[in-house]
Structure 1
Amino acid sequence: MTVTTGNPPGDFVQVGATRDGLDPYLDCARRRGMRAVLVETPAFLRWRRLLGRREFDVELAVARPQDPDAVRAALTAAGVTPGLVLTGFERYVYAGFALAEALRVAPWPGAGVDFRPLDKREQREALLRGAPQVAQPRFLPLDLGDQGAADGLGFPQVIKPADGGGGLGVLLVDGAAQRRRALDRIRELTNYGGGAFSGIVAEEFVKGPELSLQGVAQQGSAVLLSVCEKLTCLEEVPGEPGLSGFREVGHVARPGTDAPPELHALAQACLDAVGYRAGPFHLDVLQGPTGPVFVEMGFRLSGGGLVALVEKATGADWAERAFASHLGDAAPVRPPSPVTGTGGIAGQISAVSEDELAAAEALQEPGITIEVQRATPPPDRSALPADDLPALASDLARHTGSAGRVVVSGGPADRVPALLHSLVAHRLRG
């Protein structure tokens, strides 16, 4: 893809590296001749280099990327002139928007003059105020000194940090005793990049199929590019028998134009309630017995390879559409059409063993395309300074362990999910 623009508006600054290694914003910047600057912790920059990830033009080590003042000081010292600030990872989305506003560069004010990204608790409260018609689980912010009020939510419950990401610290509990163990466990964790969580939320567990919506806000209107069925499993927390967390196993993507009206309405109501007017977003939703139930919202591109999967199913370059929406160098975003040859559906699973990859290679069906993408063997952690390991603990727990990715597309619409389920059924039973 070639993008023709006038003089670049300044440097592109990405706060936080993508954990899946795709770095689609890097491509967007280079197509425009913009210098690309990555801001990350010193420890993660060292880990990223060991992983063999692509280099940005400038890579700035900042001890606390979650602190917009610290990031701004580092940019000034390095002679960086930001023209666009976006985030590549959930932990730093708050700092990214605050930095853009302080510097008076995109996505401010297009995303909303007064917009700031809300954490999971704040999102729920904003919906109660501004979109009470949106169903969501009952919830309660937890005071670590007194959790008795949360018993009124019933059991099972989900306990989660208010500003975590990638499933960090999200635990399923089936009683007050397990909840106390879950809270003890969360106390032992540090958020990505170091530091404490902003708070902890208890919410009722709603059982049902899980969906994620990928879209772009354009002048306050929600444009859904795709809707994914999520494949998730429960996994026991190491050292905590009987206590389980959640792990995303895979996704099956379909064009957003195929989404039922209630999902379009939910996405629009969420944008309106939080005041988000321009830029990428993703929404997690449960299909409850009476309709969709809001789980949480992110104000960035999804990780986990979803940018590539969205393009596989729909032909939409999600990163490019988001990038262009902030710079005003493209036509208005429109819902994409299914890609010829994919049947308008594509799915992927993250494989955890060579056996799963081998099983995928053995699958053969007419009209079905199966791609097996083996992950590079993980680097030896002994190559890192000992002080890096505590700083990387959350990343190593949540973003390592994949043997590769299996991507399936084409054929009848029901075959893609069926084939993916066959590869990971032993895990989904958990």
Structure 2
Amino acid sequence: MTPTGKDFARRAGDDFVQLGATRDGLDPYLDQARDRGMRAVLVETPAYLRWRRMLGRRPFDLEVAVERPQDESAVTAALAAAGVAPRLVLTGFERYVYAGFAVARAVGAAPWPAVGEAFRPPDKREQREALRAAGAVVAQPRFAVLTPDGPPDDLGYPQVVKPSDGGGGLGVVLVDDPEQRAHAADLVRGMRNYGGGAFGSVLAEEFVKGPELSVQGVAHDGRPHLLSVCEKLTTLEEVPDAPGLSGFREVGHLARHGDTAEEGLREMTARCLDAVGYREGPFHVDVIQGEAGPVFVEMGFRLSGGGLVGLVERATGDSWAEAVFAVHLDGRPPVLSPARERAVGQIAAVSRRELEAGDELAARGHEVEVLRAAPPPGTRALSAADREVLASDLARHTGSLGRVVVAGESCAHVQSLLRPIVSPRLRG
């Protein structure tokens, strides 16, 4: 029998539950839980918990292994069996965001019900449909759900093919003609999502050319509070075992204070959150800056990965995770620092040359941190079953040797220092 909210209420405690481990090595929610004297509980697959220990990541106070963390009933039962009494349930990884909100509702813990009584996090297809249904004045690419029988190919080329419920760039492919589109769709259908599951559906959408931006913030009582705006540095790379197909990878980010967001970006963010009924908690909204203004790409209902949590704090002086805990546990809007004339950027280095280029910038007097990662563990110690479950993680979240972080008075200045380091990898 699945435990109910009443079952957990009888064991009322002060546990913080994180569903899914972060993949970037940062654990901001763990820090906040410990600052508040809460027991920190991590729920993950047994395979990823083993891999996380091999990576030398900090342990949570309690780690609960669940074969399918995307199954909210399995998570709820495992928490009850472990004697966990959640006060707050948050998602640490995109794959499990739907289950995270469902678990919070099931156990009667924050962010429910302040997040919105009827809120369920929509996937990429559902986000686009929600914007249409709400009549929101938000520019977005035309798109279609791909099935073996269709639909008609009337989007023009190039197109982007992607899973509706993927994360971290997994399965996102640029195609130039119908043959490539069919190949990419078959490729995505054959992939395994994080944790070993299948994708819900496959989308094709118009490719929009322009700079890529993301907004990081926290919603409180239906109002978005913007911490930062990030400009993305992206690259195209060949898809393994698929000659002729290219996928996207984020190489780096440039962060500035949220108060510097253009009015069109602010309005789009508010309309997006309103269209999906999201009233309380962390969010990020990704856009492409088109010729006529921002074009919606997707939104997420969690902290960003890729080291952005640390980058946002360096650029703004504010802790994104602290703002989230304040909203959910104290019921107050985040107290954010005033705008500053400062930008901070970072790149994920994949070679010693890129790390050494960061050292050279520091030697020339620029404000630079070179954060070298520990040597990665070998995967031979993993069982064949673990490697299968972790296949997407090993493909998308390994290979970085560290980060080069640069601060300056503007994004343009920071970009002028970082771009030459990674220019051989950049597109456009």
- Give the Å deviation of 1:98: 0.4
Change (3 A) 1:371 1:209: same
- Is 1:146 the counterpart of 2:149? The answer is yes
Q: AA paired with 1:171? A: V
Deviations 1:224-265 (A, max 9, x none): 110000000100111211100000000000001011111110
Q: 1:367 & 1:336 partners in 2: Cα distance?
A: 27
5 Å-filtered alignment, 1:289-328, equals 289-328=291-330
- Give the Å deviation of 1:86: 0.3
- Give the Å deviation of 1:142: 1.2
- Give the Å deviation of 1:337: 2.4
TM-score by length of structure 1 reads 0.94
SS at match of 1:389: helix
Q: Which residue of 2 aligns with 1:332?
A: 333
Q: Which residue of 1 aligns with 2:173?
A: 171
5 Å-filtered alignment, 1:21-420, equals 21-143=25-147, 145-149=148-152, 151-328=153-330, 331-338=332-339, 343-364=341-362, 368-411=366-409, 413-420=411-418
Q: 1:270 & 1:254 partners in 2: Cα distance?
A: 21
User: 4+ residue stretches of structure 1 with deviation over 6 A?
Assistant: none
Q: AA paired with 1:318? A: W
Q: 2:286 & 2:410 partners in 1: Cα distance?
A: 26
Q: 1:413 & 1:113 partners in 2: Cα distance?
A: 39
Mean Cα deviation higher: 65-74 or 362-371: 362-371
Change (3 A) 1:135 1:334: farther
Contact 2:146-2:185 within 8 A present in 1 as well: no
- Give the Å deviation of 1:366: 6.9
Q: 2:172 & 2:378 partners in 1: Cα distance?
A: 28
Q: 1:429 & 1:167 partners in 2: Cα distance?
A: 16
- Give the Å deviation of 1:334: 4.3
Contact 1:84-1:106 within 8 A present in 2 as well: yes
Q: 2:288 & 2:370 partners in 1: Cα distance?
A: 29
Q: 1:323 & 1:403 partners in 2: Cα distance?
A: 31
Q: 1:40 & 1:240 partners in 2: Cα distance?
A: 31
Q: 1:320 & 1:310 partners in 2: Cα distance?
A: 12
Q: AA paired with 1:113? A: E
- Give the Å deviation of 1:336: 3.0
Q: AA paired with 2:359? A: E
Aligned pair count reads 417
Change (3 A) 1:268 1:9: farther
- Give the Å deviation of 1:91: 0.2
Q: 1:412 & 1:239 partners in 2: Cα distance?
A: 40
- Give the Å deviation of 1:367: 6.4
Q: AA paired with 1:197? A: F
Contact 2:342-2:410 within 8 A present in 1 as well: no
SS at match of 1:146: coil
Gaps of at least 5 residues in structure 1 are: 1-7
Q: Which residue of 1 aligns with 2:6?
A: none
Q: AA paired with 1:350? A: A
Percent identity over paired residues: 65
Deviations 1:151-198 (A, max 9, x none): 100111000000000000000001110011101211221110111111
Deviations 1:21-50 (A, max 9, x none): 101000110011110000000000000000
Change (3 A) 1:365 1:255: farther
Q: 2:274 & 2:187 partners in 1: Cα distance?
A: 35
Contact 1:315-1:337 within 8 A present in 2 as well: no
- Give the Å deviation of 1:116: 0.5
Mean Cα deviation higher: 294-303 or 174-183: 174-183
Contact 2:313-2:320 within 8 A present in 1 as well: yes
Change (3 A) 1:245 1:57: same
Q: 1:385 & 1:123 partners in 2: Cα distance?
A: 37
Contact 2:220-2:280 within 8 A present in 1 as well: yes
TM-score by length of structure 2 reads 0.95
Deviations 1:330-383 (A, max 9, x none): x522443246xxx42000000110111011111148763110011111101111
Deviations 1:370-410 (A, max 9, x none): 10011111101111122100100000001000011010003
SS at match of 1:107: coil
Q: AA paired with 2:98? A: Y
- Give the Å deviation of 1:429: 3.8
Contact 2:213-2:288 within 8 A present in 1 as well: yes
Contact 2:260-2:339 within 8 A present in 1 as well: no
Contact 2:323-2:335 within 8 A present in 1 as well: no
Q: 1:296 & 1:250 partners in 2: Cα distance?
A: 18
Q: Which residue of 2 aligns with 1:5?
A: none
Q: AA paired with 1:147? A: G
